[in-house]
A and B are shown apart, each in its own frame.
Chain A
Amino acid sequence: MKKLAVLQSLAFALTVLLFFSCNQSTNKTNEQAANDTTAKVEQNNMDSIPVSDTTKKNVAVKQKTDLPNVLVYNSHITNRCASCIAIEEATTKTLKTYFSAELKQGRIKQYILNVDDEANEKISEKYQAFGSGLFVTRVYKGKETNTDLTGDGFKYARNKEEKFIEILKNKISEYLK
């Protein structure tokens, strides 16, 4: 009988021990979990730094997009005349000479369009470019302002290039402001 009582108390003691040990491990897991959450929060805080950096970057991007952009279109048909070629050459020369930084930044883009190419139908229609043409477009806050310099191109580009370059340069400078 005594033996039974001893065994019972031993079993109880073992159960109590087991209970506490299990409980301790559960607490530890919770603690670890708590620590992990903290780590996560810290990590989130760490993440918040690049986020704020990104915000800064966004501000920079926003500032860039807040500036007007300029699109320069040289349109031509498949069989080109001397004046048409001269207009394109003088346009490219103007951009490379005076606006290389803006070209690199992407603030100025030059497009050479063959209006005989079906792929350019939509853009040709937009600018009413059915032959040789030079169009300068200012894009600012979703609004577009366009100047058709085709006449000046035909008048000056071939035989008075410096005059043509001056006209185009002035127009682009005005549109970049």
Chain B
Amino acid sequence: MKKLAVISLLLLISLNIFSQKSSDTIISNNLQNLKLKVLYFHITNRCNTCFSIEKYVRQTIDSNFANQLEQGIIDLYVLNCDLPENQELVKKYEAYGATLAITPYINGKEGKSEDLSNWAFQKVHKPEIFMEELKTKINELIK
């Protein structure tokens, strides 16, 4: 009985770890071509608004910048900020909860990051505006 309980517990823990890890997305294809990093951080227990922001960020990139993503001009990071392996980036971006940030790269050199969290939460309930404005911003930075 005890063994069964221990096995169940271990199974639950491992499932939890895997489910957390599976939520991380890192698309980074060619660092030499990199012009922009788009990063979205979230906590483990996410709300609808948080899911929506990720969804519209992905939709913006998939619909308008699929080629740039493939060529490595744009990198996309979707990270769980509660995971230990992400803590370095969490500190760097002060991403202690849902955070959307973009970092430009000029000739391989990292530029000043912009925090779009307040903007994202303001616009998330109007997806068309959200995606249009994000598209414009990304276009400006990868010129």
Residues of A whose CB lies within 8 Å of any CB of B are 77, 80-84, 128, 130-133, 148-152, 154-160, 163
Contacts and interface: CB of A to CB of B under 8 A. Distances in A.
Nearest to A148: B122
A84 B43 contact: no
Contacts of A131: 47-49, 124-125
A79 B95 CA distance: 24
A133 B121 contact: yes
Given A155-B97, A159-B81, A160-B94, A128 B47 contact: no
Given A155-B95, A156-B96, A159-B97, A84 B47 contact: yes
B98 A154 contact: yes
Interface string B23-49: 000000000000000000001011111
Contacts of B117: 151-152, 154-155
A158 B49 contact: no
Contacts of B50: 81, 83, 154
B121 A150 contact: yes
Interface residues of B, number: 24
Contacts of B46: 81
A55 to B, nearest CB: 46
Contacts of A81: 45-47, 50
Contacts of B95: 155
B94 A154 contact: no
A132 B49 contact: yes
A56 B94 CA distance: 51
A152 B118 contact: yes
A159 B46 CA distance: 14
Contacts of B120: 151
B26 to A, nearest CB: 21
A24 to B, nearest CB: 88
Contacts of A130: 125
B137 to A, nearest CB: 15
| Most chain A Cβ neighbours within 10 Å, of B94, B118, B122 | B118
15 contacts: A81-B45, A82-B43, A83-B98, A148-B118, A148-B121, A150-B121, A151-B117, A152-B117, A154-B49, A155-B98, A155-B117, A158-B96, A159-B81, A159-B96, A160-B96
A163 B95 CA distance: 12
